[in-house]
Amino acid sequence: MAKKDETKLSVRPLDDRLVVEALEAEETTSGGILLPDTAKQKPQRGRVLAVGPGKARDDGQRTAVSVSVGDEVLFGRYAGNDVEINGRELKIMRESDVLAKVVK
């Protein structure tokens, strides 16, 4: 069974930007109550699909990005820009919009 993120992206992020696919919002509360679509919150968790080369410094070198492709990250509710690429809803955001990397 092929994963969705195995398909090639037709975009390459610049500088310290990331392409992130948001993971699905919770369908039930911790108490087991089923949430309708109108009550679901925007997802704040996603998987990194592409990473830019890093931010350019004044001396011409690039600062390394601290996340890599495949990492699961947490980000702000309204972070980044929503775009549709190849029929998929993705977010393009700066590395600074990422709040944390999920460690399993």
Parse the chain into domains and list their residue ranges: 13-23+33-101
**Cα-to-chain-centroid distance, residue 78:** 12
Instruction: Looking at the structure, give the CATH architecture of the domain made up of residues 13-23+33-101.
Output: Roll (2.30)
Query: What mean pLDDT do residues 84-97 have?
Result: 91
Spatial CA neighbour of 73 closest among 104, 43, 48? 48
Q: Assign 3 a pLDDT band (cuts: 50, 70, 90).
A: very low
Task: Scan for tokens 């999920």, then name that residue.
Answer: 102
Of the two residues 6 and 70, the one the predictor is more confident about is 70
Tens digits of per-residue pLDDT, 17-74?
A: 999 998 876 565 566 666 665 555 666 899 999 999 999 899 989 999 999 999 999 9
Which of 4-13, 33-42, 77-86 bottoms out in mean pLDDT, i.e. has the lowest? 33-42
Q: How many CA atoms lie within 13 A of 55 on its CB side?
A: 9
66 with 54: CB under 8 angstroms? no
At residue 90, the pLDDT reads: 93
DSSP state, residue 5: G
